[in-house]
Chains A and B, each alone.
Chain A
Amino acid sequence: MPKKRKTSRKRKAQSKKKKGTSLFKKWMLQLIVILGCVFLSYCVLLDFQIRKEFDGKRWSVPARVYAQPLELYAGRRYEQRLVVERLKNAAYQNVSTLSGPGQFRLQGSTIEVYTRQFHYWDGIESAKKLKIRFSGQQITDITQIISDQNVSIIRLTPTLIGKVFPLHDEDRVLITYEEIPETLIQALIAVEDRSYFEHFGLDPFGILRSIYVNVIRGKVTQGGSTLTQQLIKNMFLTHERTFTRKINEMLMAVMLEYHYTKENILSAYVNEIYLGQNGQRSIHGFGTAAEFYFSKPLAELSNAEIALLVGMVKGASYYNPRKQSERALNRRNLVLNLLHEQDFINEAELIHATSKPLGVSDKPRWSSAKYPAYIDLVRRHLKRDYRIDDLRNEGLQIHTTLDVNTQEIAQNSVTRSLSKLEKGKGFSSGTLQSALVVVEQHSGEVLALIGDRNKDKNAFNRAMDAKRPIGSLIKPAIYMTALNRPAKYNVLSSLDDSRLVLQQKNGKRWEPNNYDKRTHGNVPLVRSIAKSYNISTVRLGMALGLENVIQTLKNLGVTSAIPRLPSMLLGALNLSPYEVTQMYQTIASGGLQIPLRTIRSVLDSNGQPLKRYDLAVREYIKPETAFLTQYLLTEVVQNGTARRLTRELPSLMPLAGKTGTTNALRDSWFAGFGDRILSVVWVGRDNNQTAKLTGSTGAMQIWVDMMKKIKPEPLLLIEPEEVEWRDYPDMSNPKSSCAQAKSYPFIKKYVPDYIDCY
């Protein structure tokens, strides 16, 4: 019995133990399942994150960005010389006999051209052999060479101005897989990852080797990372060296290899890897690095130069060739030796390459595209007007509104005029900055955009992001508010320009002053704006009500916050040149506000246009009010602060414009337009110190210099039916005699019977 009891106790204990183990096993199993699930969901999450990020970048085929095509037709004013220039820009060859598309032949005042086929948004324009005849500065006719038939209009293949990844904000020189030089691939493989084309994202031998080394040293020091892992590290992870990070990196590398081809991953690597620092900006990718260190495109680099960049992958600042030239040279030669060891280059090539100096350019240069500020705006508009998902597609074709000719003219004018202004004011070179926008006011198309006086730089796009007080450029909005009440105001209404003291809400007194520090008593409205009198303008604005003026500004297209303060009436309102241009576009187009645009169309890789959000074109301003405002701005040019234009551009009159100057001459503005070209120019200093320039002595000089070349068509003031011209005593100028008559426009219903002349 006792034995039995003993056995039964033993059994009990056994079963207890068994129960305990099975319970433990059960728990363990559960734990494993739970951990497994957690791990799996973690993997799914990682996988999702990777694909999202990688797809968003889409390194393989960038979108091609084109300038607007040159349209030629009989009767168009366009110099033969410029057509030739444009053909050369679009890589047309000058030949003696036309044998294929992309060629042209010059024959006196005739150009024979074999155009290339090109896919536009409204269909394919096929290749044609054409004869373009010129007479003076005009095209007389265009005929097909074969059939001698007249052609009404042709488009010349547009200039490619950049390649971008639309969803990428950075300014990078992007390289497609086909564009990667053979030596670069070989060098990366020789130095960083010998089994790249064989492994699955990880290199087990490499890992074993690194574990061995790390254990011996007791610290995580060696990588053994594959190119894939390095890419992951660059794209997703921090640079701290922990085991969790390493595990993450390995997991992600395997996932990446599972989803994408070796070519995809390598292109991403070539475009993503960190290769240095330019001030605040990181240099990512070999394309950008080639420009940054050697000032030339990647395709033009020698073996030695490629080897230098590949050597820098290990530590871009440690091997910085501009600061650590000896270290960098040794590293470069090591890379070249590795290339030789693996038979990628022969002995002679090795000796030749290692004997060369580093060849790094003195100054870092930066340009991803020829027109960085403009391309920056194109990116912003892509995001404004198109669906993000559509932009992820590969190989998009973006047709923009950039007019290469205008852009070049504008850039040259800025460079030339700023140097002249600096000399005149005793500033050292580089003190002044400028930004400008040129648009076709009826379509809102942006023809040119300058964001920096240095055409390759666009670290700060002033045209878009420099918000400065606009000074008197605000005045048309106030006068427009007045003219929108024709029962009360017309262009000859009397305004009061006598001393004014305003009690502000904060208890302070504000006494606006005129630029000439004088008061002018009663002045006709037209003269008040032409001479840009401040006191009469503030009085007018206060009488109209700040709210109403603010509403006009909004109707004109201003979206920035507008302070509800009387000083706003004198332009204490910060706007970018771009926003000012939108405001003047509405006036210049006769009241039709059209959001400024840089994109005519985006085609997918099959040539199909992407759907775009509809343009929010709405008429905000009555045509007659816009017309009267335009008229006032022509008076600014004829008799006011922009009178210098009549001397400088006599053959282009009439033009409309407005000068703007801010306190202590910090900002110099000019906005002006003819019949189809509107341009807004800003000149000032980045540190907001005085530029010693008024609107007319600064920004207007650039405007004039530019317009001498652009030759805008004069403004045709075509009155809407609500308006009629009437002769009254000339009061535009204080010096003009009241006996002289002058036509002024009025709203028909409200033509005044009498006018007091002063």
Chain B
Amino acid sequence: MRDCRLFLVIMMLFLTACAEQATKSVVLVPVEERNAPVTVKNKSASIHKEKSREVNKQQEPVIIALLKDADKFSGQGESAKAAATIERALRIEPRNALLWHRLSVVRFQQQQWQQTIAMARKSIALAGNNRKLKSDNWGLIAKAYGKLGDKRKANDARNKQTNQG
């Protein structure tokens, strides 16, 4: 019986993976009127691309110190103060994906499911190529949707969690 259930789960995962693959293969390309492919002579230097690399830099000592404080508050069951401390760190680095993730974790502890999801999504959007962090966020989102009773979205998130890894 148990083996049977496991088999079903594996099958489901396999099917979803296939489905995703299938949608990927039929990429919709907007048809723009044109005659011939344009030849591009000069490679462009995008100001945006250069800057976006900065996302994966080292954490500042001040951020590390504040996260430590937040941990201490969390440990004492003072989640509101933990959240306030992470928000303090976010004021210093509003684009720090790890901080948004940590805030999401605190919101989950506070049973604020919608907020958990919102913060985790923000973290994902800022995470760049940090797959581990993205995966953790999707895991949180899946759990939060589970708490909200939205099985479909919980499953979607779970899939994305595993796809990251």
Contacts and interface: CB of A to CB of B under 8 A. Distances in A.
Interface of A: 71, 73-76, 121-123, 152-153, 440-443, 445, 487-490, 492-494, 589-592, 600-601, 609, 614-615, 617-619, 623, 627, 631, 634, 653-654, 675-676, 714, 716-721, 725, 727-730, 738-743, 749-757
A618 B91 contact: no
Contact residues of B: prevailing secondary structure: helix
A490 B49 CA distance: 19
17 contacts: A121-B84, A440-B91, A442-B90, A443-B94, A592-B118, A617-B118, A618-B114, A654-B47, A714-B51, A718-B52, A719-B52, A728-B40, A738-B38, A750-B27, A752-B29, A756-B34, A757-B38
B33 interface: yes
A670 to B, nearest CB: 22
A618 B118 contact: yes
A676 B90 CA distance: 11
Interface in B2-54: 24, 27-30, 32-35, 37-44, 46-49, 51-52, 54
B54 A725 contact: no
Task: Pick the most buried of B32, B33, B87: most chain A CB atoms within 10 A of its CB.
Answer: B32
Interface string B70-87: 000100000011001101
Contact of B92 (A71, A589, A750): A71
Interface residues of B, number: 56
B42 to A, nearest CB: 5
A718 B126 contact: yes
Given A152-B62, A152-B65, A487 B28 contact: yes
Contacts of B118: 592, 617-619
B61 A74 contact: yes
Given A122-B73, A618-B118, A750 B94 contact: no
Contacts of B28: 487, 749-750
Contacts of B64: 152
Contacts of A76: 62, 92
Given A492-B32, A716-B95, A728-B40, 19 more contacts: A76-B62, A122-B81, A122-B84, A152-B65, A488-B30, A489-B30, A494-B32, A609-B80, A617-B118, A619-B122, A623-B121, A714-B51, A718-B55, A718-B128, A727-B40, A740-B42, A741-B41, A743-B49, A756-B32
A75 B60 contact: yes
Nearest to A626: B125
Nearest to B89: A153
Interface string B83-109: 011011011101100000000000000
Contacts of A623: 121-122, 124-125
B144 interface: no
Contact residues of A: prevailing secondary structure: loop
B142 interface: no
A152 B42 contact: no
A675 B32 CA distance: 34
B67 to A, nearest CB: 11
Contacts of A740: 41-42, 44
Contacts of A756: 32-35
B117 interface: yes
A26 B134 CA distance: 87
A443 B27 contact: no
A634 B46 CA distance: 12
Given A609-B80, A617-B114, A714-B51, A727 B91 contact: no
Given A442-B90, A738-B38, A717 B51 contact: yes
Nearest to B39: A739
A625 to B, nearest CB: 11
Nearest to A742: B44
Given A122-B85, A443-B87, A619-B118, A755 B34 contact: yes
A716 B51 contact: yes
B143 to A, nearest CB: 17
B112 interface: yes
